[in-house]
């Protein structure tokens, strides 16, 4: 059973190699990709069942033990995220089958499948890496794969966005690598467990070096996860990518940086006082900036996908703000919000993709009365919008409840107020769209047509159902996460 921990990464990685080799013609690439993702999801589900009760699986690659060997570690935190990430991937890959074949030529298509799988391998690897170097490797795998997915479209704006992302991502990677080297320099360890033990002495001996390392790591991962003001690459990248790719990039890929930060700052590096002191001030303020400015930018957008991309900046702010108070309740909310936002934003981008696929409209002003043609898609979009605002019975409400409760428990009512204010701002840019979609009058009556191919409709509806289930019956998820958050905080 322990091998599942490594299979979680190895399966998508091998899939990524298989597709270009044997998936050249026809739909074979799609079938391999879907099979790989399903296998990964099954693996993640099993891992979640095993670890849900709080026990963790440590896997030593090649049976080389730390401090020399590579350790992979799957606990409730990472298996919970892996579970949702891989199932969202199933939805996205299913959706891609019809959508992407339109936009890409067959040669680019197999690279698309391959890169998508590579991205998944990187994302899952970030969650289960148990040493800094492998964390870095997985980070680079997913970043470069993301860059490839953006540029696979071979259009001017996509290439430009990919280049922008590549440059900033390289800067971030440099920061991360430098931070890791500094930490290795003062402690002599990369493995999380050994590092945590050695860090207090090292931090006492050379506090400035550790502080610099922490700052570099924070900057690097903040940039990877588009924390304001390092978000500038995100709107271009996410809006110019193919819609299913946007769903993955916006819903999942930006979260990898957060996952890494959570892991490092809440448990691994928290032995260093520099981390504990610098954290709230540093990340909390930036998060507030992201929540307010992201919302203001989102309001001024005319393009649907750009608006959704800016909304991601806002939601990232929520997660960071809740994390910055370092309270188990708020952290539960933050982790849950990683998943909730992944589901919601995935669904929103897929429904946007469906609208674009079906009508070719992507300007917000053109979406008047779109629900007459696409009622199911618009229902999903409405659920997504309500989740973003945090209306009860959607999953967004549950995570907001825990985030607000946690910030108040930590004695920071101002943070709670910011969270709620930002929710109101979300309503200001999501609801007009929903109202216009349902009640606006379409410019010209269109002939009745089926809403979209089932392979595109079902993933959207499936994600919508997941959002509602998590919103109505959050109990099991909360139990797993409550334990995970306490473990993460070492309480």
By CB under 8 A, name the binding residues for other proteins: 386, 389-393, 398, 400-402, 404-405, 408-409, 413, 416-417, 420-421, 423-424, 427-428, 431-432, 435, 439-441, 472-475, 478
**Whole-number minimum distance, CB 428 to other proteins, in Å?**
7
**Whole-number minimum distance, CB 466 to other proteins, in Å?**
16
Please say which residue, 271 or 343, places its beta carbon nearer to other proteins.
343
Please say which residue, 432 or 454, places its beta carbon nearer to other proteins.
432
Please say which residue, 88 or 478, places its beta carbon nearer to other proteins.
478
Listed residue (106, 104, 108, 58) closest to 79, CA to CA: 58
**Whole-number minimum distance, CB 401 to other proteins, in Å?**
5
CB atoms within 10 A of CB 44: 28
**Whole-number minimum distance, CB 350 to other proteins, in Å?**
24
CB atoms within 10 A of CB 154: 11
**Whole-number minimum distance, CB 420 to other proteins, in Å?**
4
Listed residue (279, 291, 286, 236) closest to 416, CA to CA: 291
Q: What is the largest CA-CA distance in the chain?
A: 74
Please say which residue, 317 or 474, places its beta carbon nearer to other proteins.
474
- What single DSSP character describes residue 373? T
Residues 329, 331, 335, CA angle at the centre, nearest 5°? Answer: 125
**Whole-number minimum distance, CB 442 to other proteins, in Å?**
12
Please say which residue, 137 or 391, places its beta carbon nearer to other proteins.
391
Dihedral sign, Cα of residue 259, residue 265, residue 270, residue 276: negative
Per-residue three-class SS string for 234-297: HHHHHHHCCHHHHHHHHHHHHHHHHHHHHHHHHHHCCCCHHHHHHHHHHHHHHHHHHHHHHHHH
Please say which residue, 305 or 400, places its beta carbon nearer to other proteins.
400
Cα-flanking dihedrals φ and ψ of residue 302, to 5°? -110, -15
**Whole-number minimum distance, CB 481 to other proteins, in Å?**
12
Please say which residue, 38 or 393, places its beta carbon nearer to other proteins.
393
Both structure tokens of 82? 């892996």
């Amino acid at each position: 059973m322990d091998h599942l921990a490594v299979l979680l990464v190895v399966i998508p990685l091998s899939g990524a190699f298989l597709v270009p080799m044997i998936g050249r013609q026809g739909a074979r690439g799609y079938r391999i990709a879907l099979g790989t993702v399903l296998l990964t999801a099954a693996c993640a589900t099993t891992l979640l069942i095993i670890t849900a009760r709080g026990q963790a699986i440590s896997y030593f690659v090649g049976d080389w033990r730390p401090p020399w060997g590579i350790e992979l570690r799957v606990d409730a935190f990472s298996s919970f995220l892996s579970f949702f990430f891989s199932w969202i991937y199933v939805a996205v890959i299913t959706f891609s089958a019809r959508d992407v074949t339109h936009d890409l030529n067959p040669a680019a298509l197999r690279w698309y499948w391959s890169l998508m799988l590579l991205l998944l391998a990187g994302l899952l690897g970030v969650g289960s890496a148990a040493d800094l170097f492998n964390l870095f490797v997985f980070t680079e795998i997913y970043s470069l794969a993301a860059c490839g997915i953006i540029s696979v479209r071979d259009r001017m704006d996509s290439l430009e966005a990919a280049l922008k992302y590549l440059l900033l991502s390289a800067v971030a990677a440099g920061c991360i690598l430098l931070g890791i080297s500094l930490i290795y320099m003062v402690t002599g360890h990369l493995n999380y467990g050994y590092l945590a033990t050695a860090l207090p002495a090292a931090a006492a001996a050379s506090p400035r070096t550790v502080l610099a390392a922490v700052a570099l790591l924070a900057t690097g991962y903040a940039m990877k996860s588009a924390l304001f003001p390092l978000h500038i690459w995100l709107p271009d990248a996410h809006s110019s990518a193919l819609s299913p790719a946007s769903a993955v990039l916006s819903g999942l890929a930006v979260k990898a940086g957060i996952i890494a930060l959570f892991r490092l700052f809440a448990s691994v590096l928290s032995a260093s006082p520099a981390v504990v002191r610098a954290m709230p001030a540093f990340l909390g303020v930036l998060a507030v900036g992201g929540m307010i400015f992201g919302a203001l930018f989102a309001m001024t957008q005319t393009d649907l996908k750009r608006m959704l991309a800016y909304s991601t900046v806002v939601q990232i702010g929520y997660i960071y703000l809740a994390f910055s108070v370092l309270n188990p309740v708020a952290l539960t909310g933050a982790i849950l919000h990683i998943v909730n936002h992944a589901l919601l934003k995935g669904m929103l981008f897929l429904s946007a993709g469906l609208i674009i696929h079906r009508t070719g409209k992507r300007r917000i002003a053109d979406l008047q009365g779109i629900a007459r043609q696409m009622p199911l898609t618009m229902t999903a979009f409405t659920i997504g919008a309500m989740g973003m605002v945090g209306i009860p019975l959607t999953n967004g409400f549950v995570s907001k409840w825990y985030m607000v409760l946690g910030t108040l428990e930590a004695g920071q009512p101002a943070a709670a107020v910011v969270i709620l204010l930002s929710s109101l701002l979300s309503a200001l840019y999501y609801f007009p769209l929903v109202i216009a979609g349902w009640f606006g009058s379409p410019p010209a009556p269109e002939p009745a047509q089926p809403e979209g191919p089932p392979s595109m409709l079902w993933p959207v509806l499936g994600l919508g159902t997941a959002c509602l289930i998590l919103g109505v019956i959050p109990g099991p998820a909360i139990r797993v996460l409550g334990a995970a958050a306490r473990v993460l905080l070492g309480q």
